[in-house]
């Protein structure tokens, strides 16, 4: 008779992560969200940067907003729909940044700076829950014009930004 052995914890952990990533990809595909490479930089024609941001984020639960103050567009995104893991939250924030920055600068020449803030749910050691900034990134038009966006890797977005900040709990 063959004896069943428990899976090693490391392999079990990898299997769980692979299953979560596969489920997340399948959910995006079946929820009508096309892959980034299949989506044009700006899928809709709009005259307002806030409407363009909402269209590019393409997730009503993300509650994306954009406010224009002078020549700066301040974008906020609720990352809760993407907070399955810290990794998925950061990855989706970078992906949304890669959609928003080039599209806004291409369509709105008066905008010189884009600041994107992603809010996420947090819980402290006492069990208190709050929604706080989890990730922040900023691009100026001059810097963004030096980036070849179609060839950009998600992981490199923070490296080429004018500024990038992440909540300390995401680095653990």
Query: Per-residue pLDDT for 77 more than 80?
Result: yes
Q: pLDDT (tens digit, 9 = 90+) per residue, 148-159? A: 998 888 889 999
- CA separation for the pair 161, 168 (Å, rounded): 19
pLDDT digits (tens, 9 = 90+) for 19-75: 666 665 555 544 444 555 544 554 456 788 888 888 888 776 778 888 889 999 999
Q: What is the CATH number of the domain that holds 73?
A: 3.30.70
pLDDT score for 153: 87
Helix, strand, or coil (residue 107): helix
Domain range for 31 is 7-38
Higher pLDDT, 13 or 34: 13
Is residue 52 assigned to a domain?
A: yes
Same domain, 26 and 51: no
147 and 92 inside one domain = yes
Residues 75 and 140 in one domain: yes
Q: What's the mean per-residue pLDDT of the chain?
A: 79
DSSP state of 5: -
Select the more confidently predicted residue: 80 or 151. 151
pTM attached to this predicted model: 0.71
Per the structure, the count of domains in the chain is: 2
The first and second tokens of residue 99, run together, are 């959609």
Indicate whether 1 belongs to any domain: no
Residue 2 lies in a domain: no
Higher pLDDT residue, 13 or 67?
Answer: 67
- Give the pLDDT of residue 115: 97
31 and 86 together in one domain: no
Edge-to-edge, what's the strand order for the sheet holding 163-166?
Answer: 65-69, 72-78, 113-123, 129-140, 163-166
């Amino acid at each position: 008779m063959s004896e069943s052995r428990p899976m090693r914890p490391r392999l079990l952990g990898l299997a769980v992560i692979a299953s979560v990533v596969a489920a997340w990809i399948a959910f995006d595909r079946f929820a009508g969200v096309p892959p980034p490479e299949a989506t044009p930089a700006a899928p809709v024609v709009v005259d307002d940067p806030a409407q363009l941001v909402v269209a590019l984020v393409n997730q009503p639960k993300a509650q994306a907003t954009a406010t224009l103050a002078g020549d700066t567009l301040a974008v906020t995104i609720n990352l809760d729909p993407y907070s399955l893991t810290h990794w998925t939250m950061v990855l989706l924030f970078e992906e949304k940044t890669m959609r928003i920055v080039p599209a806004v600068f291409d369509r709105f020449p008066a905008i010189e700076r884009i600041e994107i803030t992603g809010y996420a749910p947090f819980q402290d050691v006492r069990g208190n829950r709050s929604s706080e900034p989890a990730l922040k990134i900023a691009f100026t038009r001059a810097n963004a014009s030096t980036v070849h966006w179609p060839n950009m890797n998600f992981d490199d977005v923070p490296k080429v930004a004018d500024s990038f900040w992440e909540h300390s709990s995401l680095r653990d």
